[in-house]
């Protein structure tokens, strides 16, 4: 049957056993790439003509912002799969993604504020980009809080999935805010189509950092999901066996 592989993917035991050996690799590669990328960007890459060295915060700011938005799609789509196929594992991924996304969003806002002070002349303004990022942060916090608000895990999962799906519209708003409205935040420097307005000497370390953060995100998401699996499946024999084996 065509959907069988999909249902097998939904088995927490299968997922737990399959992803175990990936973790050291993901961890090693992501940490190595982050070290290479940040050394490249911070020590060997050029400073920026107008901003000087403060522009180097881009190597943290952009990857955290990209992953805070990509991570939201991961969380919302996991929630949708959970709702449609009643897949427990999918809800566990959704729950695991929420705090990671919240931290990434916070880091993007924080690094933006640190950059804004010397560049714009202020830590904070309520323009379209920053405000929509605050909404993203609150959505993540809302899902973290909702998970704890229900005694019944199944209810919490469904409510969180609905909230995650409703909040999904915020992602294109964040992305397009700088084009739709007059904002203090500048438009995107890296462009999918057309010529990027960031010099290649800065674009390459930046792209490497974005890739590194994607791998790092996968690593952390898998680790958190595995903890959630053990928590929710603690009464099953396979988890008991796992614990007994030490």
The residues that bridge with 52 in the sheet, in sequence order, are 48
Identify the H or E element spanning 25. helix 22-39
Q: Is 194 in the site for another protein (CB under 8 A)?
A: no
Q: Which of 26, 33, 34, 55 contacts another protein by CB under 8 A?
A: 55
**Torsion from C-alpha of 179, 180, 186, 192, nearest 10 degrees:** -30
Q: Is 80 in the site for another protein (CB under 8 A)?
A: yes
Q: Is 71 in the site for another protein (CB under 8 A)?
A: no
Q: Which two tokens stand for residue 114?
A: 């640190």
> Among all chains, which residue has been given the structure tokens 């931290």?
103
Q: Which stretch binds another protein (CB under 8 A): 17-25, 35-43, 48-56, 97-105?
A: 48-56
Q: Is 9 in the site for another protein (CB under 8 A)?
A: no
Whole-number Å distance between alpha carbons of 61 and 42: 13
Whole-number Å distance between alpha carbons of 75 and 63: 18
Q: Which of 11, 19, 51, 236 contacts another protein by CB under 8 A?
A: 51
Q: Is 173 in the site for another protein (CB under 8 A)?
A: yes
Whole-number Å distance between alpha carbons of 117 and 99: 27
Q: Which of 32, 84, 145, 149 contacts another protein by CB under 8 A?
A: 84
Helix (H, G, I), strand (E, B) or coil at 182: coil
- Minimum Å gap between C-beta 126 and another protein is 8
Q: Which of 42, 134, 138, 184 contacts another protein by CB under 8 A?
A: 184
Q: Under rule CB under 8 A, which residues in 109-138 are in contact with another protein?
A: 118-122, 125-128
At 82, phi and psi to the nearest 5? -60, -40
Residues at the site binding another protein, with contacts judged by CB under 8 A: 3, 46-51, 55, 58, 80, 83-85, 118-122, 125-128, 162, 165-166, 168-170, 173, 177, 180-184, 186-189, 197-199, 201-202
């Amino acid at each position: 049957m065509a959907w069988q592989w999909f249902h097998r993917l939904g088995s927490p035991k299968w997922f737990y056993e399959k992803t175990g050996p990936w973790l050291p690799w993901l961890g090693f590669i992501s940490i190595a790439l982050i070290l290479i990328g940040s050394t490249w960007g911070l020590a060997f890459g050029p400073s920026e003509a107008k901003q000087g060295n403060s522009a180097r915060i881009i190597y943290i700011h952009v990857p955290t912002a990209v992953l805070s938005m990509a991570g939201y799609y991961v969380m919302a789509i996991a929630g949708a799969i959970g709702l449609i196929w009643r897949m427990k594992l999918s809800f566990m991924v959704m729950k695991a993604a929420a705090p990671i996304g919240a931290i990434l969003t916070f880091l993007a806002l924080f690094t933006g504020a640190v950059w804004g002070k010397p560049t714009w002349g202020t830590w904070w303004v309520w323009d379209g980009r920053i405000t929509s990022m605050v909404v993203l942060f609150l959505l993540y916090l809302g899902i973290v809080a909702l998970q704890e608000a229900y005694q019944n895990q199944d209810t919490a999962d469904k409510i969180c999935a609905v909230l995650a799906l409703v909040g999904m519209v915020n992602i294109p708003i964040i992305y397009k805010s700088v084009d739709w409205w007059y904002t203090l935040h500048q438009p995107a420097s890296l462009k999918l189509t057309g010529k990027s307005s960031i010099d290649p000497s800065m674009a390459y370390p930046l792209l490497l950092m974005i890739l590194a953060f994607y791998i790092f995100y996968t690593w952390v998401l898998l680790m958190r999901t595995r903890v959630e699996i053990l928590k929710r499946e603690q009464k099953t024999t396979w988890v008991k066996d796992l614990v007994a084996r030490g």
